[in-house]
Structure 1
Amino acid sequence: MAVSLLWTGLVLLGMLQAQAQTRLQIPPPDLSRVPLQANFLPREFGGTWYVVGLAGNAFTKAEQKQSKMYTTTYKLQEDNSYRVTSTLVRGSQCDKFERTFVPNSQPGQFTLDNILSYGLQDYIVRVMRTNYDEFAMVYFKKTKDNNDYFKMTLYGRSEQLRPELKKNFINLVKSLGLTDNNIIFPARVGECIHVKD
């Protein structure tokens, strides 16, 4: 009996490891393929954005039911970095976390300040497309323990976006190697994220 339980446990562990590996088998696109917003306007990009859509090599459609909408606020600093605060619901708690995005080699591209304290080897943020007052599509790539994780976020200045913007997001995501299974549209929430500082 004990041997049977041990084998069952080992099989389940192997399945979980295989599932994790399958998620990461989609490599991040070469950065030259990721669009960059022309003539990026830092001040106009600042402010609060709702996370309306997510896609990435660590997401699966099965997670859609647990995914809740959250907000991310970009506050422009004097040195043109952003103080970035995300507000989300975790369990029954309202949680906030902050980080700083520092300008990189091109306008609209950033890296995470103090990257080593997060246990990361690399972190890139790239504003792909935005009209500043309605939507933005942002690319994130991080390297941790020699694994590359990437995601794309569809931001909205409100909780709902026109259907064609969601369709454009899906098309862009697929053009960069992801599938329908890697795309999530988080559920709207009635608390926490609407509180203003």
Structure 2
Amino acid sequence: MGPWRALWLWLSLHRVLWAQTPVPLPVQPQLSQFHSEQFQGAWFVLGLAGNAFKKQDRPLLNPYASLFELRRNSHFEVSNSMTRGQRCDSWSYLLMPTSQPAWFTIAHGGPGTDTEQVQVVDTNYTSFALLLSRRQAAGHPVIRVSLLGRTWTLPPGTPDKFICLCKAQGLTRDNVAFLAMGRGRGQGQWSWQTQCGSVTAPQWP
């Protein structure tokens, strides 16, 4: 099994899916405006979390790069590459914009397949971004949270924002993986005991 297939199984198809309703814990406010031109370009995926994750699955993951290329019809073509040893695995997909700012969809496969909803929850465009995605698999919601950085170094407090967003989706610390431990300031020193504010968790349309 290739690493990307293993990663996708980890993200989407693990048999232990959380059945409880996500706890409305505090996270960052949703973006009222989104500037696609500023968001495009290269990002590093430095953190991942999901309700299909298990602690023992973390060795499957390495830090990887995502290139967001803005096309004329306002969608993003996203190209990803992950290095594992001497091999580089790559995959891509299209992010299609919706009528709501910072909201996109990904169509997996042909007609009748589940559509994944993706939201850019927070970003300053120059150093970090938080993405939240949701899709249905076998009748259960599959949730994924991604922490992106323009470099290996994150602004102070960014890992805390990531943790708060994870908690707001009902995730536990075993559902979280930081992919760049020791590569940049802050990634390797996160704490699940982060104190969050009082903003309501994002609501899916």
Shorter-normalised TM-score: what interval? 0.7 to 0.9
Letter aligned with residue 145 of structure 1: A
> Aligned pair count?
168
1:55 aligns with 2:49: yes
Contact 2:131 2:146 in 1 (8 A): yes
CA, structure 1 residues 132+34, in 2 after alignment: closer, same or farther (shift >3 Å)?
closer
Q: 1:86 aligns with which of 77, 80, 84?
A: 80
Once the two structures are superposed, residues 26-71 of structure 1 have per-residue CA deviations (whole angstroms, 9 ceiling, x without a partner) of 55689xx995322110110111110111111011222233321001
Residue of structure 2 in register with 1:174 after alignment: 167
Q: Give the secondary structure class of the aligned counterpart of 1:166.
A: helix
2:116 aligned with 1:141, yes or no?
A: no
Q: List gaps (5 residues or longer) in structure 2.
A: 1-13, 184-205
Give a deviation string over 1:138-158, Cα, whole Å, max 9, x none: 011122333321100000001
- RMSD of the TM alignment (CA)? 2.7
C-alpha contact 1:122 1:144 (8 A) present in aligned 2: no
Give the 3 Å change call, closer, same or farther, for CA 119–181 of structure 1 in structure 2.
Answer: farther
1:116 is aligned, of 109, 114, 127, to 109
TM-score by length of 1: 0.74
Tell me by how many angstroms 1:73 deviates. Answer: 1.0
TM-score, normalisation: structure 2 = 0.72
Higher helix share: 1
Percent of counterpart pairs with the same letter?
Answer: 30
Structure number, greater radius of gyration: 1
Determine the structure 2 residue equivalent to 1:95: 89
